[in-house]
Amino acid sequence: MWHTYLISAFKTNPLATRGVCILPTAVVSFLPWQTSLNQKTDKVRLEMEHKDKSMIIDGRALRFTEGETILEVARRNHIDIPTLCHLKGATPTGACRVCVVEVEGARTLMTSCTVPATAGMVVHSESPEVIRSRRMTIELMLTSGRHDDCLVCPSSGDCRLQDLAFRYKVKGATFTPSGVKYPMEAANPFILRDFSKCILCGRCVQACNEVQVNEAIDFGYRGAEAKIVTKGDRALKDSDCVFCGECVQACPVAALVPKNARLVPRMSETRAVKTTCSYCGVGCQMNLHVKNNRVWHVTGCEEVAPNHGSLCVKGRYGFDFIASEHRLTTPLIKENGAFREASWDEALDLTARRFKEIAGAHADAVGVLTSARVTNEENYIAQKFARTVLKTNNIDHCARL
């Protein structure tokens, strides 16, 4: 059998057991991990040999459906395999290597986000080997760029790398931090790009290219020089970026944060209020992040239709009108061509009186323009007002504009 002899070749090679010595192309490719089924004899495994579509993760026999990845099977069964680059709705890239697991018989650790479950597969999600690899991977991330300032970092409390460092007790002290390679970019109204925090997980690239399909950013350069770039590696404001902020929502660290993130309450300090966007007709579901009676951030709700987390620039960043100093706060009455402030009673009494006079004198001489901007309840009340109080069907709104 071809595979057994190949495996025996690895086993006899002292370096091969460390997962080295074979070139990219082929051997790895076709190694069926199932071949190792007989290596150990534990009871569960023997039972499983005759069952189709089941596998073992951390000693638990689990069923799966065709095409499910190890990660999906694990998550469905509340086995917490950590991930970082994995982005829902996008093709798994296997880039960050945080979700690696040990698959018996496989030559190297495998990324659980990309490998489909197969019958008889035996997986260890937290073996010493796995933990060792994760710790080194996290260590390498923590010492790339600058990750030593959580105390003043806007993403603190809302940072996947911080969570991972905590979970695996990694401090980022083994190597000298590689420091700032590319300068921070803040030359646009919405998004701050801090490359010293970027761990090149690629979630932003996928959010931009696979979720929103705006294709404004991509990987640029190569190797240690790799950087997330726009066209011509220009600033976002001079690129094809449409500032939908999908990348900001996807960024697991603080490489992409709202422009003013350092000046306003951190996401983790705010309270989220779920609501519907008030711009176009898509009706995106969004969270308004509130603290001290003020909206500081807006994020898309990931679990529900119709937008599943996506927003556009207006929905995500066009909320400063709420707290605008130009808001009308008191009724105004025009006298001699100029407005003066008035009390609610005065303004409403005046209005009621004039409407009554005009409507009383001429049928259908009063009209109401209700609004495609206000709620159903308010539209209902407006038309009810026109029809029952003003006794007219002269009600319309700008449906046609």
Partner 1 sequence: MSKARMQLMLCSGTGCHATGSKRFHEALDAELNRQGLTDEIKIVETGCNGFCAVGPVMLVQPEGIFYQKLTAEDVPELVEEHFLKGRPVPRLFFKEHMSKEKIPHIDDIPFFSNQVYRAMRNKGAIDPEVIDEYIARDGYFGAAKALNEMSSEEIIDEMLTSGLRGRGGAGFPTGLKWKFAHSSKGAEKYVLCNADEGDPGAFMDRSILESDPHVILEGMTIAAKAINATKGYIYCRTEYQLAIRRLEIAIAQAKEYGLLGTNILGSGFDFDIEIYQGAGAFVCGEETALMRSIEGKRGMPRPRPPFPAYKGLWDKPTILNNVESFANVPQIILKGGEWYASIGTEKSKGTKVFALSGDINNIGLVEVPMGLPIRTLIYDIGGGIPNKRKFKAVQLGGPSGGCVPEQHLDTLIDYEEIAKVGAIMGSGGAIVMDDRTCMVDMARFFMDFIQDESCGKCTPCREGTRRILEILERICDGKGEAADLKSLEDLCEVTSNSSLCGLGQTAANPVLSTMRFFMDEYKAHIFEKRCPAKTCQALLKFTVDAEKCKKCGLCFKACPADAIVWKKKEVAFIDTTKCIQCMSCYDKCPFDAID
Partner 2 sequence: MVMDHHPEHPDVTAEMWTRIDTILDEHSSVPGSLITALRLCQDTVGYLPPPLLDYIAEGMNLASSQVFGVATFYSLFSLKPKGRNIIKACTGTACYVKGIKEILNHIRNSYSISEGETMPDRRFTLEGVRCLGACGLAPVMVVNEDIHGNVDPKQVKGILEDYQ
Partner 3 sequence: MTNPISDIEKADVILVTGSNTTETHPVISSAIKRAAKFGGKGLIVIDPREITLKQYATLKMAPRPGGDIAWINGMIHVILKEGLQAKEYILDRTEGFDAMAEAVAPFTPEYVEKITGIPGNTLVEAARLYAGAEKGSILYCMGITQHINGTNAVKSLANLAMVCGNLGIEGGGVNPLRGQNNVQGACDMGGLPDVYPGYRKVHDESHAQTMEKAWGVTGLSRTPGITATDMVDAAIDGTLKALYVIGENPLVSEADLNHTEKGFHNLEFLVVQDIFMTETAQAANVVLPALCFAEKEGTFTNTERRVQRVRKAVDGPEGVPADWEIVCDLARRMGVPMEFKSAEAIFTELAAVTPAFSGLSYKRIEKEGIPWPCPTADHPGTPRLHVGSFAKGKGTFFPIEWTPPAEVTDAEYPLALTTGRVLYHYHTGTMTRKSKGLNERSPECFVEMAGSDAKNLGLSDGTLATVTSRRGNIKARVKVSRRMHKGTVFIPFHFAEAAANRLTNAKLDPDSKIPEFKVCAVRIGSAPEARG
**Interaction site with partner 1 (CB under 8 A):** 2, 5, 9, 12-16, 18-30, 92-98, 100, 108-109, 111, 114-116, 129, 132-133, 136-137, 140-141, 143-144, 174-175, 178, 199-200, 202, 218-219, 221-226
For the bound state, the minimum distance from the C-beta of residue 295 to partner 3, rounded and expressed in Å, comes to: 6
In angstroms, how far is the first alpha carbon of the chain from the final one?
72
38 part of the interface to partner 3, by CB under 8 A: no
Which one, 225 or 325, has the nearer CB to partner 3? 325
Separation CA 320–CA 202 (nearest Å): 30
Binding window for partner 3 (CB under 8 A); candidates: 39-47, 129-137, 146-154, 337-345: 337-345
CA angle centred on 95, ends 94 and 98, rounded to 5°: 80
> Which one of partner 2, partner 1, partner 3, none interacts with residue 217, CB within 5 to 8 A by kind?
partner 2
Please, what is the minimum distance in Å from the beta carbon of residue 302 to partner 3? Answer: 12
Least separation in angstroms between CB 232 and partner 3: 17
Residue of 61, 131, 173, 369 that binds partner 3 (CB under 8 A)? 369
How far is residue 278's CA from residue 313's CA, in Å, rounded to a whole number? 13
Q: Which stretch binds partner 3 (CB under 8 A): 18-26, 48-56, 164-172, 204-212?
A: 204-212
Q: Are the C-beta atoms of 124 and 75 separated by less than 8 Å?
A: no
What's the min distance (Å) between Cβ of 178 and partner 1?
8
Residues 104-163 that bind partner 3 (CB under 8 A): none
**Under a CB-based contact definition with an 8 Å cutoff, are residues 133 and 97 in contact?**
yes
274 contact, one of partner 3, partner 2, partner 1, none, CB 5-8 Å limit per kind: partner 3
d(CA 47, CA 58): 16
**Interface with partner 3, residue 26, by CB under 8 A:** no
Residue type, 237: K
DSSP letter (8 states) at residue 49: T
Q: How many CA atoms lie within 13 A of 304 on its CB side?
A: 12
> Binder to partner 3 among 47, 148, 233, 364 (CB under 8 A)?
364
Q: Are 164 and 196 in contact (CB under 8 A)?
A: no
In DSSP terms, 55 is beta-bridged to 62
Q: How far apart are CA 382 and CA 368, in angstroms?
A: 8
The single residue among 12, 29, 176, 324 that binds partner 3, judged by CB under 8 A, is 324
Instruction: Name the site residues for partner 2 (rule: CB under 8 A).
Output: 209, 215-222, 229-234, 239-240
Among 200, 211, 251, 261, binds partner 3 (CB under 8 A): 211
Contact between 238 and 200 under an 8 Å Cβ cutoff? The reply is no
Radius of gyration over alpha carbons of the chain, in Å? 30
Phi, psi of 62 (to 5 degrees): -130, 140
Q: Quick one: 252 exposed, middle or buried, by C-beta within 10 A (0-12, 13-18, 19+)?
A: buried
Nearer to partner 3, 101 or 284 (CB): 284
**Closer to partner 1 at the Cβ: 1 or 401?**
1
Q: Token pair 């929103």 is at which residue?
A: 212
130 closest CA partner among 168, 100, 89: 100
230 or 285: CB nearest partner 2: 230
In one-letter notation, the amino acid at residue 2 is W
Q: Which of 94, 177, 265, 318 touches partner 3 (CB under 8 A)?
A: 318
Q: Map residues 256-275 to x or -, x wherever contact with partner 3 holds by CB under 8 A.
A: ---x-------------xxx
CB nearer to partner 1: give 13 or 351. 13
Helix (H, G, I), strand (E, B) or coil at 345: helix
Which is nearer to partner 3, 181 or 387 (by Cβ)?
387
The least CB distance from residue 245 to partner 1, in Å, is: 25
In angstroms, the Cα distances linking 380 to 34, 206, 368, 383 are: 65, 43, 12, 5
By C-beta, is 75 or 234 nearer to partner 2?
A: 234
CB nearer to partner 1: pick between 122 and 288: 122
CB 392 to partner 3: min, Å: 6
Q: Which of 216, 284, 297, 299 binds partner 3 (CB under 8 A)?
A: 284
Q: Exposed, middle or buried by CB within 10 Å (0-12, 13-18, 19+), for 93?
A: middle
